[in-house]
Structure 1
Amino acid sequence: MIHQETRLRLMALLAGLGEGARVEFGWLKEALKVTEGNLSSHLGKLEEAGYVEVEKGYQGKRPRTWVRLTPKGRAAYEAHRKALLALLQGP
């Protein structure tokens, strides 16, 4: 699930923000340099897996979407990161 480049970058960004931190959809779109549709698609897959939580609401009168990493997502990201580091270190 996480190995796809955009999803891996997304998970790394969220994990780097600290536990419980949430970011706005537009910030993620700009940080990852992807389209809204592309980001929505990847977020949908990660949300289905239980790795991210997507929250919709309003800031003033403007609709907003916020994203946060779940504990399950953090654990999956850390396991994936450790596996990648082990591959890079070799036997």
Structure 2
Amino acid sequence: MAEAHFDEVIHAPMRLRVCGLLRRVDGMDFAVLRDTLEVSDATLSKHLKTLTEAGYVTLKKSASTARTDARRMTWVSLTGDGRTVFDAHIRALREIAGSAD
């Protein structure tokens, strides 16, 4: 388990929410993530770009078996580093709040 560490990249409210949602799953469809967060494509894309550049998130495009057109789905996942840094960030927040576990 990594030590508690406050991370400025993850701490932005939208990125914190993105990481929190992705932490529970192996991956999530971009559209589902967008709809869950109730943000625009552009807003989510901006935050995913920041997380991707930090090495915390990966994006993977794949064909959709549910669609009859050629559009592809974008799957969003936390990387191993992303999970580690997110967990350490949450521990740091708990320490700040006085509720470390």
TM-score by length of 2: 0.82
Counterpart in the other structure of 1:8: 16
How many residues align? The count is: 87
Counterpart in the other structure of 1:82: 91
- Is there any run of 5+ residues in structure 2 with no aligned partner, and where? 1-8
RMSD of the TM alignment (CA)? 1.2
Q: Hey, which bits of structure 1, 4+ residues long, moved more than 2 A? A: none
Which of structures 1 and 2 has the bigger CA Rg? 2
- Percent of paired sites with the same residue: 39
Q: Which has the higher strand share?
A: 1
Greater relative contact order (CA < 8 Å, ≥ 6 in sequence): 2
Counterpart in the other structure of 1:43: 48
Look up the equivalent residue of 2:20 and give its one-letter code: A
Counterpart in the other structure of 2:75: 66
CA deviations over 1:43-67 (Å, ceiling 9, x no partner): 0010011101100121143311000
